[in-house]
Amino acid sequence: MDPNLRPVAVKRVQKHWDQPKNATPPPQLTVYNSLTRQKEVFVPNEGKRVRWYICGPTVYDSSHMGHARSYLSLDILRRVFRDYFGYDVEFIMNITDVDDKIIKRARQSHLLKSYFNESQAPPVMKVCEDVVAALEHFKTKFETEMDPDKKKMFEVMIKKVQQQSSALEEAMKAQDSIATEEAKGRLLNESRDVLSEWLDHNHGKDVRDHSVFDDLAKTYEKEFLADMARLNVLPVDVLTRVSEYVPEVITYVKKIISNGYAYAAEDGSVYFDTKAFEQNPKHFYAKLVPEAYGEDSEQLLKNMKESEGELSMSDDRLKSKRSPNDFALWKSSKDGEPFWPSEWGNGRPGWHIECSVMSSAICGSKLDIHAGGFDLKFPHHDNEIAQVEAHYDDPHWVNYFLHCGTLRIQGMKMSKSLKNFITIRKALEDYTPRQLRLLFLMHNWADVLDYSSSTMERALQFEKITNEFFLLVKDFLRRHYKPDRSEGYQKFQGKELKLMEEFGKLKSEVHEALCDSVDTRSVIEKFRELISLGNAYIVEKEKEGHVPNCLLLRNIAAYITNLLKIFGAIPQSNQEIGFVSEDECNGEGASTSFNKEAVVMPYLDALAQFREKVRLIAKEHKVNGILEECDTLRDKTLTELGVRLEDRNGQTVVKLVDRATLLREQEQKDTEKKRKDKEKADKEQKAREKADKEAAAKKIKPEELFKQGEHVGKYSKFDERGVPTHLADGTEITKSQIKKLEKVYEAQKKKYQQ
Ligand SMILES: Nc1ncnc2c1ncn2[C@@H]1O[C@H](COP(=O)(O)OP(=O)(O)OP(=O)(O)O)[C@@H](O)[C@H]1O
Ligand SMILES: [Zn+2]
């Protein structure tokens, strides 16, 4: 063929590629923003950098579970933002170490201590006089209290004092000196709060030593930080104390005045001018709770009392404000209060100003996130917003305001002021830091949470099923996970493909839940589903006599572990799958560098296998002594060491469990065994009694049968065999009845002859 006629080869080019169509776009992170009262897509001001400020505690008493609710939930949020979504979070918290509550509590403890010291053994008459006077004073406080919960608490306190007073009176009347002394002690103890209120009213102004206030704040700050570390709350990046920022507060307040949004009153206090602020069209007062501005005076007064502080609500102070909504930026200090010099005279910062000043000092004029407890929304956070916006004269400060839901106990907010609190320390005596964290993970951070033993029980139950899953998977992995060998990779059959599909679906749902305002509650539910799917898969494979696929099980367990690490429930340093035993956690909740599991497991596996073989031989040869020893090794010796041996389809599964948990389990087992033993002994006893009764019955001669035992007094005449013919009252017995009695007679005759 003529080569010129050959068709020219068409140059083949890269085939056109189509971008995947109909792909679902990944969900975006949204957060519930109190400023809009809905979920908003999260967009930081500056790339991945997130400036985040949270209100810290007022350090005048021990931290309680209500505080844990806020700080632990915020710790979870912070970790998710940082370690799941990859934001560069700068986390700033303040400590309120100058405040009306601190001043009052410090003076009261100081005065009460002196009262007890001076009058080591106050004569009984003096105690009576003082308590009566203190009670009178306290009743006025009770009558003027507007908060119904506090009122109720005061009422209980008054009643208790009155009860102890009556007891003392009776002991005195009876002239029983020992009983009188004891009753006096009880009265003094019960009257502590009432007496300290009274002492403070009379002598508070004489407390001039500033170390009284500083010491109290330092003590509780230390306690708070130690509690947070015990709960495995990450240390903040910056901690600010108002006592360290007073010069900055003064400068800040001056700027607000010069911008026209604050004024100095005659007594040396400075107030925020809410009207001036609100009247400027650029600004808006009470962005979070607009309903609260210009409320009826009673509610306003209640809010003011709580937020301005008890020491700052005197009539003359109220009169010097231009509007009842105005709040103090700077409070002139009275006698018995700490003070710093300023151009307005000796004074101290108001509560709200500290957060505005300190967050501005660290983060500048813009914040991405501001957070705190739900109760801080109004007036604290609304006032913080107004102050910063007045200072910069710029209506944009915080982009996202997050408020943690309140923790309640028996339907009431857990609070220091209501004295219905459970300290973090006490809670940690009953539960581990991990269990408390799981409790918070199981509730949406923005929801109300009722703290009770039943809510804790649910957290414990989740911990148990998750832990058992981890331990079981780890046992399989120890025996069958061989990633360095060909036999470690098995073909994925129907069950594996199905599980992998469900696993993938659940992972997407977990991601969606985290994007949905960090909904850890749903994530925990997804974990539950995943674990039951995993467990069901294992059981099915075992039924078929096959080893479950270790790659798949390992991926599931590692996925859950990893998220629990992000949530702070498992130390980041843990290289293994599953929880770290509480025995291995040090005080800060981090795992020790020594990995107990990796070291001891090979030896424990060898021991378990040896035990199993010895047991089989002992069973075969019926050597009970060896079987008993094998039981003791499992139930006592290894339990004490935190090791659980379980029988699963003829294989011994080895699990490392917290020693305390194992001992508790063993205790339950012992109790159950005792109950069963008792039940068995009772049954045997009853059977013996029955047999004895029957044996005795057999010995009765048939002719005597109707004349003894239950028959005595029933009949008056008998025939020659001893069968009754007449009832006790002389009436003749009917023929059919006699027939029945004859049957009984014949049966007895047979028994007797036997
Ligand atoms: N019961 C609670 N539930 C949730 N958060 C709480 C609870 N009690 C206090 N908080 C939060 O803890 C943080 C520190 O509170 P703070 O020390 O100001 O407590 P407080 O309001 O003075 O205490 P209390 O209400 O117990 O008298 C705040 O963010 C506050 O909202
Ligand atoms: Zn604050």
Atom 28 of ligand 1: nearest residue by CA position: 373
Euclidean distance between CA atoms 663 and 657, whole angstroms = 10
Q: Is the pLDDT of residue 592 over 50?
A: no
Nearest to 347 by CA among 371, 330, 370: 330
Least confident range of 507-521, 535-549, 582-596, 691-705:
582-596
**Substitution candidate for ligand 1 out of 380, 415, 423, 440 with most atoms within 8 A of CB:** 415
More confident residue, 398 or 597: 398
More confident residue, 423 or 714: 423
Residue 644: strand pairing partners:
655
Q: Is the pLDDT of residue 73 over 90?
A: yes
| Mean predicted confidence (pLDDT) in 50-71 | 97
ipTM: 0.97
CA of 207 to the centre of ligand 1 (A): 27
- Can you give the pTM of this predicted structure? 0.82
Helix (H) or strand (E) holding 403: strand 398-404
Give the ligand with the smallest distance to the CA of 355. Answer: 2
376 lines ligand 1 (CB under 6 A): yes
416 lines ligand 1 (CB under 6 A): yes
pLDDT at 308 (0 to 100): 83
pLDDT tens digits, 390-447: 999 999 999 999 999 999 999 999 998 888 999 999 999 999 999 999 999 999 999 9
Atom 21 of ligand 1: nearest residue by CA position: 415
User: Beta strands 270-272 and 328-332: pairing type?
Assistant: antiparallel
Least confident range of 8-12, 75-79, 173-177, 383-387:
8-12
Q: Is the pLDDT of residue 359 over 90?
A: yes
More confident residue, 195 or 666: 195
276, 278, 281, 287: CA torsion to nearest 10 = 150
Phi, psi of 731 (to 5 degrees): -70, 145
CA of 415 to the centre of ligand 1 (A): 7
Name the DSSP letter for residue 504.
Answer: H
The mean pLDDT value of the chain amounts to: 91
Atom 25 of ligand 1: nearest residue by CA position: 415
387 lines ligand 1 (CB under 6 A): no
73 lines ligand 1 (CB under 6 A): no
Q: Which residues contact 215 (CB under 8 A, 6 or more apart)?
A: 106
Q: Is the pLDDT of residue 295 over 70?
A: no
- Of the spans 131-140, 297-306, 394-403, 649-658, which averages the highest pLDDT? 394-403
283: three-class secondary structure by DSSP? coil
More confident residue, 419 or 554: 554
Q: Which atom of ligand 1 is nearest to the CA of 415?
A: 26
pLDDT at 6 (0 to 100): 60
Euclidean distance between CA atoms 105 and 110, whole angstroms = 8
CA of 54 to the centre of ligand 2 (A): 7
pLDDT at 594 (0 to 100): 59
pLDDT class of 452 with cuts at 50, 70, 90 = very high
Q: Is the pLDDT of residue 316 over 90?
A: no
CA of 333 to the centre of ligand 2 (A): 21
pLDDT at 297 (0 to 100): 65
pLDDT at 367 (0 to 100): 98
pLDDT tens digits, 74-125: 999 999 999 999 999 999 999 999 999 999 999 999 999 988 876 666 778 8
Neighbour order of strands in the sheet with 49-54: 238-241, 88-95, 49-54, 367-373, 398-404
pLDDT class of 5 with cuts at 50, 70, 90 = low
Euclidean distance between CA atoms 367 and 78, whole angstroms = 15
pLDDT tens digits, 223-280: 999 999 999 999 999 999 999 999 999 999 999 999 999 999 999 999 999 999 999 9
pLDDT tens digits, 611-641: 999 999 999 999 999 999 999 999 889 988 8
Q: Is the pLDDT of residue 590 over 50?
A: no
pLDDT at 518 (0 to 100): 98
272: three-class secondary structure by DSSP? strand
User: Token pair for residue 97?
Assistant: 């170490």
pLDDT class of 315 with cuts at 50, 70, 90 = confident
406 lines ligand 1 (CB under 6 A): yes
Task: Report CA torsion sign: 244, 250, 256, 262.
Answer: positive
Phi, psi of 407 (to 5 degrees): -95, 125
**What per-residue string of b and e applies to 419-436 under the rule 16 or more CB within 10 Å gives b?**
ebbbbbeebbeebbbbbb
| CB distance 73 to 445 below 8 Å | yes
Q: Is the pLDDT of residue 593 over 60?
A: no
Chain centroid to Cα 612, Å, comes to: 42
512 lines ligand 1 (CB under 6 A): no
pLDDT at 584 (0 to 100): 62
Percent of the chain whose pLDDT exceeds 90: 65
Neighbours of 58 (CB within 10 A): 21
Atom 31 of ligand 1: nearest residue by CA position: 373
Helix (H) or strand (E) holding 89: strand 88-95
User: Radius of gyration (Cα) for the chain, nearest Å?
Assistant: 39
Least confident range of 30-44, 155-169, 347-361, 678-692:
155-169
Q: Is the pLDDT of residue 588 over 60?
A: no
Q: In the chain, what is the straight-line distance between the N-terminal and C-terminal CA atoms, in Å?
A: 124
Q: What is the DSSP annotation of 624-687? A: HHHHHHHHHIIIIIHHHTTEEEEEETTEEEEEE--HHHHHHHHHHHHHHHHHHHHHHHHHHHHH
Q: Is the pLDDT of residue 299 over 80?
A: no
pLDDT at 531 (0 to 100): 98
| CB distance 394 to 284 below 8 Å | no
pLDDT class of 573 with cuts at 50, 70, 90 = confident
Percent of the chain whose pLDDT exceeds 70: 96
Greatest C-alpha distance within the chain: 145
372 lines ligand 1 (CB under 6 A): yes
pLDDT at 533 (0 to 100): 98
Nearest to 723 by CA among 746, 750, 701, 742: 742
